[in-house]
């Protein structure tokens, strides 16, 4: 099977973003991750700040005064943002070969036969260690931060896809970056992408 697109879903701190960027670089294709925020803002009409605010979480209470207003505004904005996200990801897939990190791209592109759907995971302790080493996370207990971010991703994924986040049935391959290492994961995905 020959693939044109790789989607990478990942646990926080597993190195999924790094793996995605390195695979894209080796393949000579674009990698879309944080760049999607600007694209989604353009598509939805929201500001980049609003897109970031709604990314994986509810609208902050300080933006809206009453509970009813909060519920209506949050629901509308999240629905509009999801529609924009789907459209942007589908257009990128049509445009040409690429790597897309996060944003439920695995489910948005689930019906495309040319898409390799990947899940990157690792042991919690290794991920906590990684966020301290790579991101300099020290303000909160690293294990708490890992669990918190994973819960936000899980809630976001399940709310919009109605599928279970991290369920192996949604992916072609799941890689334990803590055991296999970032470089091995990159090399393996490069080989899978190029396999005929």
54-74 confidence digits (pLDDT tens): 665 543 334 444 444 444 455
Per residue in 143-161, pLDDT (tens digit) is: 888 999 999 989 889 888 8
For residues 32 and 163, what is the distance between their CA atoms, to the nearest angstrom? 23
Structure tokens at 106: 């695995």
Strand 173-176 and strand 31-32: the pairing is unpaired
**Ordered structural domains, the chain, with CATH:** 5-39+97-194 (3.40.50.300)
Asked if residue 105 has pLDDT above 70, the reply is: yes
Strand partners, 120: 10, 175
Pairwise CA distance, residues 71 & 157, whole Å = 19
The pair of structure tokens assigned to 32 is 């879309």
């Amino acid at each position: 099977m020959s693939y044109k697109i790789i989607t990478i879903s990942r646990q926080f701190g597993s190195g999924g973003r790094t793996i995605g960027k390195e695979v894209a670089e080796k393949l000579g294709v674009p990698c879309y991750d944080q760049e999607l925020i600007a694209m989604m803002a353009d598509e939805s009409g929201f500001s980049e700040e609003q897109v970031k605010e709604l990314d994986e979480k509810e609208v902050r209470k300080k933006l809206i005064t009453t509970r009813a207003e909060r519920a209506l505004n949050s629901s509308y904005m999240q629905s509009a943002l999801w529609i924009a996200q789907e459209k942007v990801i589908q257009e990128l897939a049509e445009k040409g070969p690429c790597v897309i990190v996060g944003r439920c791209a695995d489910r948005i592109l689930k019906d495309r036969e040319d898409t390799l759907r990947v899940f990157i995971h690792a042991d919690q302790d290794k991920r906590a260690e990684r966020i301290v080493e790579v991101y300099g996370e020290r303000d909160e207990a690293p294990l708490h931060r890992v669990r918190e971010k994973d819960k936000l991703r899980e809630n976001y994924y399940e709310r919009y896809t109605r599928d279970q986040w991290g369920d192996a049935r949604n992916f072609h391959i799941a890689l334990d970056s803590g055991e296999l290492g970032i470089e091995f994961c990159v090399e393996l995905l490069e080989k899978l992408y190029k396999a005929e």
